[in-house]
Structure formats: C-alpha cells, structure tokens
Amino acid sequence: MALNIFWFIPTFGDSQYIGEKTGSRIIDFNYSKQIAVAADNLGFDGVLIPTGRLCEDPWVVASSLISVTQNLKFLVALRPGLLQPSLAARMTATLDRFSNGRVAINLVAGGDKTELEGDGLYQKPEERYEAAGEFVDVWRDILKASYEKELVNFDGKYYKTTNAKLLYPPVQRPNPPLFFGGSSDEARELAAQKVDLYITWGERPQDVKEKIEDLKKELQNMEGL
C-alpha cells in the first residue's frame, strides 16, 4: 500500500513545537518559500495549507509557491459559505492549471462558532454540513461540465446557479481530489457521501479506527439504498 506523506505550511506562524508560542516567529513569504522548497526537495508528496482567521489566506499562499516548487502538491482549504461554488470552481481550475495538476482541496465545513460568525456564517452545524454537501455537488458539476463547455443549472436549498460555465477546465479530471475531516455524525455522513479522501487529527489509534469503521458503515448503508 502506497503512502502519501504531507507536511504543512505554518500560515499562522511557526515555533519549535506545534501550539507553542515561546520563540514563535511571524510567517512571511520568504519563510513559507523556504519550507515549501525544503518539503519539495525532501520528497514530501504535498503540504497542507491551514485556514482560519489566524492564518494567511491559503489560496494566495499556494499561488505564491507554485513557481518555487516542482512536484509538491498543495492541499488548499475550501470553505463553503465564504464564496459561491462557481467562483470556487474557477479558482480551483486556475490553480490546478497553473500548477500543472498539483492541487488538492480540503473541504472545511465546520470550525469555531466565534470565528464562523466573524466571517458572516450563522448557520447551525447541521445546516452547514447540508449546505456543504450541496456546495460540493455544484462545484463538481461545474468542473466536470467544463471539459465539454456545457452550462450548469442548479436549484437547491442553499445554492442556485443559472447557466454557470467554466471555460478553462482543471488538469485533473474530472476535478482535483477532495479531502475532508470531521468527527460529528453530520461530518461523517458528509464524508461518506461527498468526498474522495477522509482525513483526521493525530488522535489515538483506537479513536481513528472507530471513525473509519463508522464511515464504512455509512458507505455500506449508502450502497444498500
């Protein structure tokens, strides 16, 4: 079984230990470039770029690091509710094209309530995950349709598009891989239904095993429908 090993770009600042503020340094472009180049040269498959109000913007960071790396993939956070699916599809396709297929997407549907409200998101958790599922459907439809220059119409509970069109398709067909992590029941249901790869925190092995078993049950239930 092949393993894909990712590092991360500390867009919230860096220190000797994760979460340790003593001796921490503020992130800047030169330091981000240094880490990305080192990860690329050391053979890491990619880097996670964190998101949130304490972080630099992940899309801008990834864009700035394309030209200084050769093989490194960028796992970029996509947050439903902060932008429309059509714009997200356009951003995804552009970054994937300009990086020659070195993009993966990290779907971020949850987070701290205070931070979410600071960004203008006031949905309840179950609404956020339902809306995120709808967001993914539109996003995927637009990217897939771009190869044939087709229009996309969608009329859902949270999102609506009329004749959406993407002229420049991504390199990775039909779309860059979609990652997602979450521990709630709603999150696990979303993971089973909508995403390609499930990610988790560095938790105890038995806790990770429990998550995986729950996701397998979700998938089996879906297949039985």
**CATH code, domain with 96:** 3.20.20.30
Residue 125 lies in a domain: yes
Residue 1 lies in a domain: no
Which range of residues forms the domain containing residue 126?
Answer: 6-223
Residue 173 lies in a domain: yes
Residue 15 lies in a domain: yes
Separation in Å, CA 209 to CA 74, 78, 143: 27, 26, 33
Query: 0.85 exceeded by the pTM?
Result: yes
Could you give the number of structural domains in the chain?
1
Question: Using N-to-C axis directions, what is the helix angle for 205-223 and 185-194, rounded to 10°?
Answer: 60
Res 210: pLDDT: 84
Res 212: pLDDT: 82
Residue 111 lies in a domain: yes
Res 9: pLDDT: 95
Res 18: pLDDT: 66
Residue matched to tokens 């498959």: 45
Low-confidence spans in the chain with pLDDT less than 70: 1-2, 18-21, 23, 223-225
Residues 6+ apart with CB under 8 A from 24: 13, 14, 15
Residue 62 lies in a domain: yes
Residue 177 lies in a domain: yes
